[in-house]
Structure formats: C-alpha cells, structure tokens
C-alpha cells in the first residue's frame, strides 16, 4: 500500500485558486470581449497597465484582494483596496483608489486608508499595423510628504492585438519609471492575454511586472460584472471583482 502525506497550506491554496479559475471560465455566459482589471483599478492585465483605456464614459467600481507584500514593502500583511475608475474625453482614464492600511496609534493598531490617484493618457490609438501608445502615472500626489506614496510610478506602454482566425491575442510591453524606488513598475514589463473564439468574455493572462511573473483568468459576466482569479509569483492568490457600466 502506498501512503500519502497530507497537503500543506500552500498546496491547498494552489488547488483552491485553480478551482476558482475553472469555475469562472465555466460561468462565462457573455460573448463580449473583456479588458482585464488591474489591481490598481485601471485598465490592465493583473499587475501591469495595457496600452489602451476603457471606452469613453465607462465607469468602473470594484475591489481587489492583496496578499502580503503585493501592495509593496509597506504592506507586510494581507489587505484589500477599492476603487473608482472613469474614462472620458475620450483619451483619458482616471482612477481613485483606497487601500486599507494598518497603523499604530496610542499603542493600538487601527485601520486607516491610503488614498491614491492615477491617470492614463492614450497618445496613439491602435491601428491596423501600428500598436497603441499610452502614458500613465499612479499615486501622483500627496499632501503629507513623499513618504506615503506607496504606489508611485510613471510609465509608457504599448499594445498590439492580433486576430488569428477569430482568436484574439494581445501583446503588451512597457517601461516603468519609479521616482520613489517603490516595488512598482521599475524597468521593463510586459504581458500577453488571450481570448478564445466565441468566448471573448474570457481572458487568460500572463505577465512580468518588472519583479515577478503573474498569471490569472478574467471573466466578464452579463456584460457588466468583471471577475478575476489567479496567482502572483506562483505562490500568492490573486482575486478581484468590479462592476462596469457606461454613463
């Protein structure tokens, strides 16, 4: 008889993440292609921006689960954020995000919120041959000094979509400038997402965020509800949900 050892916590976590991914794929009922939801609340893959923005007058409201370290070295605990995103003009996308923050006051640990504002400008729209070009900044302002700009970064990113027999493959490549030396978009980053034929609401994503490799599956349900699940660096769970609508 072959004896089997019990699964450790990391193995159980991996199994749960994969089950969620398969469940989301099976739940997909819509036939519209979805743009994935970045953990900062703006249009992107999992942890990197893409070279595009949401359609004009699109409003998105959502939340993300952030495991320890995912939100940067300051967040040495599991946390979450929630955000409001709006595209307008129609070449600008703005995001207002709040991340739950634990601080110590009077020898007691209390929960506060880190507020951050980000913006993306579409400089060039994708053409038949030429890729799109987008510039962006995140956590661009602070009223209490530079020490609390935990998500500060600026970047230039490009994207190109290839249609192979109605299978959509989108390539993303960019470069991040990190003035505060944060654990965010520093140097080259890139990714790829794939939407199968007749199942455009599903997006399979893989990326390198200038620090590690992440993977996830994103699904758009009923044309408005975006859900994703996956993993950061193969060992931490990723999950988020948002509701998207046109004003």
- In this predicted structure, the answer to whether residue 23 has a pLDDT above a threshold of 70 is no
Tens digits of residue pLDDT in 195-231: 998 888 899 999 999 888 999 999 999 889 999 999 9
- The answer to whether the CB of 223 falls within 8 A of the CB of 49 is no
For position 228, what pLDDT does the model report? 92
Chain CA centroid to CA 177, Å: 18
For position 28, what pLDDT does the model report? 37
For position 8, what pLDDT does the model report? 60
DSSP letters spanning the chain: ----PPP-HHHHHHHHHHHHHHHHHHH----S----B-TTSSBBSSSSB-S--PPTTEEEEEEEEE-TTTT-TT--S-EEEEEEEEEETTTEEEEEEEEEEEEEETTEEEEEEEEEEEEEEEEE---SSSPEEEEEEES---SS-GGG-TT-EEEEEEEEEEEETTEEEEEEEEEEE-TT--SS--EEEEEEEEE-TT-TTEEEEEEE-SS-EEEEEEEEETTTEEEEEEEETTTEEEEEEEEEEE-
Cα 184 to Cα 176: distance, rounded to the nearest angstrom: 8
Which percentage of the chain shows pLDDT scores above 90?
45
Cα 153 to Cα 173: distance, rounded to the nearest angstrom: 16
CB atoms within 10 A of CB 178: 16
Q: Among 42-51, 139-148, 172-181, name the most confident range.
A: 42-51
Tens digits of residue pLDDT in 28-37: 333 334 456 6
Residue with the bigger pLDDT between 175 and 15: it is 175
* 117, β-bridge pairs: 96
The predicted model gives 84-98 an average pLDDT of 93
Tens digits of residue pLDDT in 96-155: 999 988 776 666 666 778 888 999 999 999 998 899 999 999 888 766 655 677 788 899
In whole numbers, what is the pLDDT of the chain averaged over residues? 81
Predicted structure pTM score:
0.79
């Amino acid at each position: 008889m072959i004896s089997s050892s019990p699964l450790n916590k990391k193995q159980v976590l991996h199994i749960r993440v994969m089950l969620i991914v398969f469940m989301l794929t099976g739940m997909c009922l819509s036939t519209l292609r979805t743009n994935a939801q970045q953990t900062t609340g703006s249009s992107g893959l999992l942890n990197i921006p893409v070279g595009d923005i949401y359609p004009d007058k699109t409003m998105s409201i959502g939340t993300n689960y952030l495991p320890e370290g995912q939100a940067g070295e300051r967040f040495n605990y599991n946390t979450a954020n929630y955000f409001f995103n709006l595209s307008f003009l129609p070449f600008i996308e703005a995001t207002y995000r709040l991340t739950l923050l634990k601080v110590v006051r009077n020898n007691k640990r209390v929960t506060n919120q880190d507020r951050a504002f980000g913006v993306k400008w579409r400089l060039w729209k994708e053409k038949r041959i030429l890729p799109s070009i987008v510039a962006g900044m995140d956590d661009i302002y602070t009223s209490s000094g530079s020490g609390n700009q935990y998500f500060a970064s600026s970047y230039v990113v490009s994207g190109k979509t290839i249609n192979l027999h109605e299978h959509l493959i989108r390539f993303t490549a960019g470069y991040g400038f990190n003035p505060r030396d944060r654990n965010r978009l520093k140097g080259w980053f890139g990714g790829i997402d794939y939407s199968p034929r007749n199942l455009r609401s599903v997006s399979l994503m893989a990326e390198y965020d200038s620090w590690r490799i992440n993977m996830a599956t994103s699904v758009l349900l009923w044309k408005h509800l975006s859900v994703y699940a996956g993993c950061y660096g193969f060992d931490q769970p990723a999950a988020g949900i948002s509701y998207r609508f046109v004003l």
